[in-house]
Amino acid sequence: MEILPWADRLTERLEEELERLPAEAAVVLEPLDGTRGWVHRPDEVFPAASVVKVPILLELFRRFQNGEEDPGTRVTLRARDQVRGAGILFELHPGIRLTLRDLARLMIVVSDNTASNLLLDRLGWASVNELLARLGARNTAIRRKFMHPPGPAGDNLTSAADCVRILRALWEGEVLRGAWREEALDILSRQQYREKIPARLPFSAQVYNKTGELDGVRHDVGLVEDRGKVWALAVLTRRGREPWEVDNRIARISRWCYDQVVEGSLEPS
């Protein structure tokens, strides 16, 4: 890959942000034009939180694309399915029936944990993990439902490099093609949690992202597109303090990456 002349300056800025970030962090920036990116602890394993909802989305849409599932198939919400945390379905009455497409949108747009678990029940954990293996995401695995305690197999895990690998596979059509790829990207673009990667970017930037939060954990992973440039960015954190300061630092990291990839300069913003 081409070595960009700004690499040392970007490294300096991002290292400054990481020093001020009140958490342990991993970062991967990968421009999708083959030019050099930037990494910090790319293969370290972190609790996955909700960023593993992206591969669930890809496996579901792969099945739609291949005719293995019908997006209009309805699933009945039962009381025993309802879990708290992010989302809205735990506030609604059991007995409502939602399509698989509805559940996909709830899982990503408002990070609904109940919707995510219903999709895991439908797909099976093994099929999502098989997709991850095919994509080379060797540090990522789903081992439990959302808001359920870890079982004997342990917790859901991922790495920053894996998150970028999954996003690149989506963008480059490795899993989904045509209208299915476009719909998956559209769903990610409707993500309502925008306090991290998108927060400091200009309105011209199109962001397709997925956040994740647990106690002490605040993640954001996404694709960013502007002025003919596209890049993947993953920022994972753990053992964090002051959540809003962690979010602010992630947003600043995202803006430094934008300024250099798109603007070609590192002026404070």
d(CA 46, CA 25) in angstroms, rounded, equals: 9
Q: Which CATH class is domain 7-263?
A: alpha beta
pTM to 2 decimals? 0.93
pLDDT tens-place string over residues 15-52: 999 999 999 999 999 999 988 899 999 999 999 999 99
- What are φ and ψ of residue 97, in 5° steps? -120, 125
Ramachandran quadrant class, 124 (left: phi over 0; alpha: psi -120 to 50; beta: rest): left
pLDDT tens-place string over residues 166-192: 999 999 999 999 999 999 999 999 999
Report helix, strand or coil for 247: helix
Domain extents in the chain? 7-263
